[in-house]
Amino acid sequence: MRGAGRAPWRAALAAALALGLAAAAGADEPAAPGATGALRVVQDRVSRLGAFLLVDAIVENTTAGPIEAAEVSVEFSSFFDELLGVEHAVLGPASLGPGQKASFRVATPFSEAIRKIRYRFTWRAGGEQLQNRPEAERPVWR
């Protein structure tokens, strides 16, 4: 029975992959302060205004505690993930309680090469400066 010795190995690999995929997808638990996802975009809009590309978004504090000095960096990249530009903005309001929302707007010179955007947030919580991993990239034109 040649294949009998491989079954436990395959089962362990399948279990490890399932756990990895579940972790990558994100748990349904609320984010702790400082955890990736403490601030998340709940709605965004990308539009062109003359020679500029505008990004307007609404962000929500998903933590159980307050955050202060919230800022965003919007990264613009090409189809091949070449970084084309970064714009920064302070959220309005910059301090958010649990579940509260804020908004921001950034403008960058329009380029046909821009295909993807990514959001990176920084904030203060409990006297500590924190930053999330970039949210999943989204296409500029949906």
Q: Report strand pairing: 52-61 vs 101-109.
A: antiparallel
Tens digits of residue pLDDT in 3-53 = 454 455 455 444 444 444 334 343 333 333 333 568 999 999 999 999 999
Answer yes or no: is pLDDT of 57 > 50.
yes
Residue 48 in tokens: 């062109």
- Residues in the chain, overall count: 142
* CATH 3.20.20.150 is right for the domain spanning 36-139: no
Average pLDDT for 71-79:
95
Mean pLDDT of 84-106: 96
What pLDDT does residue 101 have?
A: 97
The whole-number pLDDT of residue 51 equals 96
The model's pTM is: 0.71
Spell out the residues 6+ positions from residue 5 whose beta carbon is closer than 8 angstroms to its own: none
In the chain, what are the domain boundaries?
A: 36-139
Higher-pLDDT residue of 129 and 3 is 129
Mean pLDDT is lowest, of 19-23, 84-88, 90-94, for: 19-23
Calculate the alpha carbon distances from 142 to 3, 44, 106 in Å: 47, 11, 18
